[in-house]
Structure 1
Amino acid sequence: MRTISFYSLVALISCLYLVISWVDYRFLCRKMSIFSNRFVRTGYWMLTSVTFCLIVYYWVIEPSANFMYVHGFYLALYIAFNWCFSQLAIILTIPFFYGCQYFMQLFAQPAEQAADNTPEMSRRIFLRKMASITPVFAFGVGTQGVFIGDTEIVVRRHQLTFSGLPAAWNGLKLAQLSDTHIGPFFNLDKLDYVAGMIRREKPDLLAITGDLIDDLDMLDETFARLEQLSLDLRHGIYYCWGNHEHYKNMGKIRERIAKSTVTLIENTHYRLMAGEQPVYIVGVDYPWANNAAERKEKRRQYIAAAHRGIPHGSFTILLAHHPDFIDDGFQRNISLTLTGHTHGGQIGIFEKPAYPLPFAYTRGMYRQKDNYGYVSVGAGHCLPFRLGCPAEIAVFHLGSFT
């Protein structure tokens, strides 16, 4: 159900987008005379208006993936997001442009300019060329992020060693799939492709750490495919809730899981045995809360409930959607905590998010003594743009040492 805060957020983002479009246009007009042409101006604002309406329609109406494909809305929406992110790239380029202009003027040599106007002319030519490539650069960024970034999926492999891993479990291979958001931007063909990637890695089990599906019209087909995948996994598939499951019909998802071979772990644990040596898979719900203190308390409650009955010192793998559970994993001496939720910011620089995220753990592997925590950047997204942060499947090969 849509809330007033949701519509307020849509209105705020819409206003921001229109302001960015206006600033971009004023900059382009000032630096490139062609943008003052009536036909170019009309085309610019028509394209901006159409993309604006398409994106708002998608956010507010949330059309099904089937509707998007049948009516060609899918491609139109991708083009709209391409234009939108191109606009954002332009406004981020403007400070760089004026910074270059300022420093070129600052370090200009007045004596040379008085005697010969060539240095000044060279600067003008450089700035003019720089301005002319701005739209091309911005559109290239948009295309890279929306079309190429949407299709790229990588496998990240991690070799981890533990002193407490039972000998019978030495060599256990675990795959993690997170944040697929199956729906308009992650269809069933893509799920088949990802399932094929997982099969090629030959893991013993698959952990799904939340935000599996956004379009419940695809629920039956999704779990039918997961059931087929589980046949190739010695220890099956384990799944914990994410925040997007709470947005949808959790009862309907729960009913479908109950009919499948996928194991839902909700503030509880599941014991795997190899001979007489157990390994425990723990799963927790998403900690909805009004503030950080309340979220921390919910995490404590969920972890306590999930660990009830697990012998002290047992080798434990924790599945959670929210990355703050990595703290709980370290505090409880949990060997491996797998999380998602952040998408890695979807824009990265040198394997780190390109902008601040409100999480202590944002992307990749973290370690405290003999315990590990991992934040997957996700295999999908609910906004089609990735740059320097490709979607991923994570594979963990666990070994023991004495």
Structure 2
Amino acid sequence: MRILFNIIFSAILIVGLVGFWALFLNLWKPKKKWPAWVGYIIIIGAWFAAIRYYILNQVDLYGTMYYPLMNLFRTESYGFLFGLFLAIPVFIVLGLLYWAVNKIWSKTPEENRTGRRAFFRTAATVVPLTTIGGSSYAAYVGQHEIEVTHESFGYTNLPPGLKDYKIVQLSDIHVGPSIDLDDLDEILKLALVEKPNRVVITGDLIDKLAWLPQVCERLTTFAKQIPDGVDFILGNHEYHHDVNKVLEELKHNTPMNILVNSNIQIMGGKQPVYIAGVAYDNDREKEKREAMIDKALSGIPDYAFVILLAHHPEFFEEAIERKIPLTLSGHTHGGQIVFMGMPLVPTGTPYTKGRYVEEQSVCYVNNGTGHWFPIRINCPREITVITFFDGVA
């Protein structure tokens, strides 16, 4: 699956880069195209080499005087690439318009076409400057903006121990090329400011395993400051890398509760409270989800209050069927690019961001506390602070 994704991504990237420059030259119409192609290939090649150097050597570069500049270069490279792709459909429209104008006024003398040519040359310059500039700004803001969201959940007959109980949800941190150890430190610091009783991490914690020891150290220090501890579940990115290594390191080198299709009781009494966690390994088949959630709920009495941690919000369907009061999810990153409340990026699920209520169940989908792709519009990174109260929200 990962190899297939890389092949498809590489093919789209190559076609996009070649298509952009071909369309640009079609509008600019230089006397000789080959020098423009040679220069473009050299620039793109150097850019790719620099990005590859950063990704391969990020851990060694971290902490050096060059790292902040390289980190900014990495962020803005996403903006450059995204803006370049945004320019392509505009170039296609301009190219068709240029062709139509020349077709209609084909008998116009060559010396009278200079104004027309100048207009399309100007457009060919302004369009990518606008799209790349806008997307570079979106990448910078998306990388640095993080929002602490406060959500209250009310239930009739709430277990007494949950009244005013505070849980902080972190999700999709993606420690790696886009979110480094400094970003992780900021996230954990912001979480501590909220003084939660408990913290849950709903998958996709890390993408660069070379930083796993440092991540474990930070999470250990962090977990010791959380009264009721930290719970963690697996997301698909743990499976993309080395899930066994991640599990081994987190189990042996942090005090976190690692829930792999399992549960823990966090409160007793007449209506005990459990946290159940399901893993997500990219398999979204209904039968597979049913088996995972049944295993995660095994041993929990029917009268218990259950909080389900599920990286992919599609598990909310099973939660509804089992009348689970609250499901906390992530995975979608909120769509990242949102206009008029609707994500422009397909997420493959009706549960994209925020709160969803179905029958007796509620699901909250976190925007992602981090990301692997920094461009965000109207969808900042999120730390969710959840508080319970007795009553109906």
- Give the TM-score band, short-chain normalised: 0.7 to 0.9
What is the distance in 2 between the residues matched to 1:25 and 1:369? 53
| Preserved contact between residue 14 and residue 52 of structure 1 (Cα < 8 Å) | no
Distance 1:137 1:238, change over 3 A: same
Distance 1:232 1:68, change over 3 A: same
SS of residue paired to 1:357:
coil
User: Runs of 5+ in structure 1 lacking a partner?
Assistant: 106-119
2:18 is aligned, of 22, 25, 43, to 22
**CA-CA distance at 1:257 after TM superposition:** 2.5
| Preserved contact between residue 266 and residue 285 of structure 1 (Cα < 8 Å) | yes
What is the distance in 2 between the residues matched to 1:344 and 1:329? 20
SS of residue paired to 1:360:
coil
Distance 1:321 1:67, change over 3 A: same
| Preserved contact between residue 336 and residue 345 of structure 2 (Cα < 8 Å) | no
What is the distance in 2 between the residues matched to 1:34 and 1:154? 48
Residue in 1 aligned with 2:139? 146
- TM-score scaled to structure 1, two decimals? 0.81
| AA aligned opposite 2:198 | L
SS of residue paired to 2:56:
coil
Residue in 1 aligned with 2:243? 250
What is the distance in 1 between the residues matched to 2:116 and 2:307? 60
| Preserved contact between residue 162 and residue 370 of structure 1 (Cα < 8 Å) | no
1:221 paired to 2:211: no
Residue in 1 aligned with 2:84? 87
Residue in 2 aligned with 1:368? 358
Residue in 2 aligned with 1:44? 40
**CA-CA distance at 1:243 after TM superposition:** 1.4
1:296 paired to 2:281: no
- TM-score scaled to structure 2, two decimals? 0.83
Distance 1:53 1:240, change over 3 A: same
| AA aligned opposite 2:17 | S
SS of residue paired to 2:307:
strand
Report matched runs for 1:210-289 at 5 Å: 210-258=203-251, 259-273=253-267, 277-289=271-283
What is the distance in 2 between the residues matched to 1:324 and 1:48? 39
**CA-CA distance at 1:322 after TM superposition:** 1.7
What is the distance in 1 between the residues matched to 2:22 and 2:282? 43
Q: Deviations over 1:159-213 (max 9, x none)?
A: 2211242133211221111111112221111111011111122222111011111
Distance 1:8 1:345, change over 3 A: same
Distance 1:26 1:310, change over 3 A: same
| Preserved contact between residue 163 and residue 370 of structure 1 (Cα < 8 Å) | no
1:205 is aligned, of 191, 198, 202, to 198
Distance 1:248 1:28, change over 3 A: closer
Q: Calculate percent identity across the aligned residue pairs.
A: 31
Q: Deviations over 1:301-342 (max 9, x none)?
A: 121122222121321100011221111111111111111122
SS of residue paired to 2:264:
strand
Residue in 1 aligned with 2:172? 179
SS of residue paired to 1:84:
helix
| Preserved contact between residue 325 and residue 362 of structure 2 (Cα < 8 Å) | yes
What is the distance in 2 between the residues matched to 1:312 and 1:332? 10
| AA aligned opposite 1:376 | N
SS of residue paired to 1:271:
strand
User: Runs of 5+ in structure 2 lacking a partner?
Assistant: 102-112
User: Which deviates further from its counterpart, 170-179 or 76-85?
Assistant: 76-85
| Preserved contact between residue 64 and residue 215 of structure 1 (Cα < 8 Å) | no
| AA aligned opposite 1:351 | G
| Preserved contact between residue 166 and residue 196 of structure 2 (Cα < 8 Å) | yes
SS of residue paired to 1:324:
helix
Report matched runs for 1:49-64 at 5 Å: 49-53=45-49, 57=52, 63=56
Distance 1:64 1:160, change over 3 A: farther
| Preserved contact between residue 287 and residue 298 of structure 1 (Cα < 8 Å) | no
Q: Deviations over 1:14-45 (max 9, x none)?
A: 33323222332233334446797887654433
| Preserved contact between residue 202 and residue 328 of structure 2 (Cα < 8 Å) | yes
| Preserved contact between residue 65 and residue 215 of structure 1 (Cα < 8 Å) | no
| AA aligned opposite 1:358 | G
What is the distance in 1 between the residues matched to 2:23 and 2:182? 42
Residue in 1 aligned with 2:107? none
**CA-CA distance at 1:273 after TM superposition:** 1.9
What is the distance in 2 between the residues matched to 1:164 and 1:65? 51
SS of residue paired to 2:313:
coil
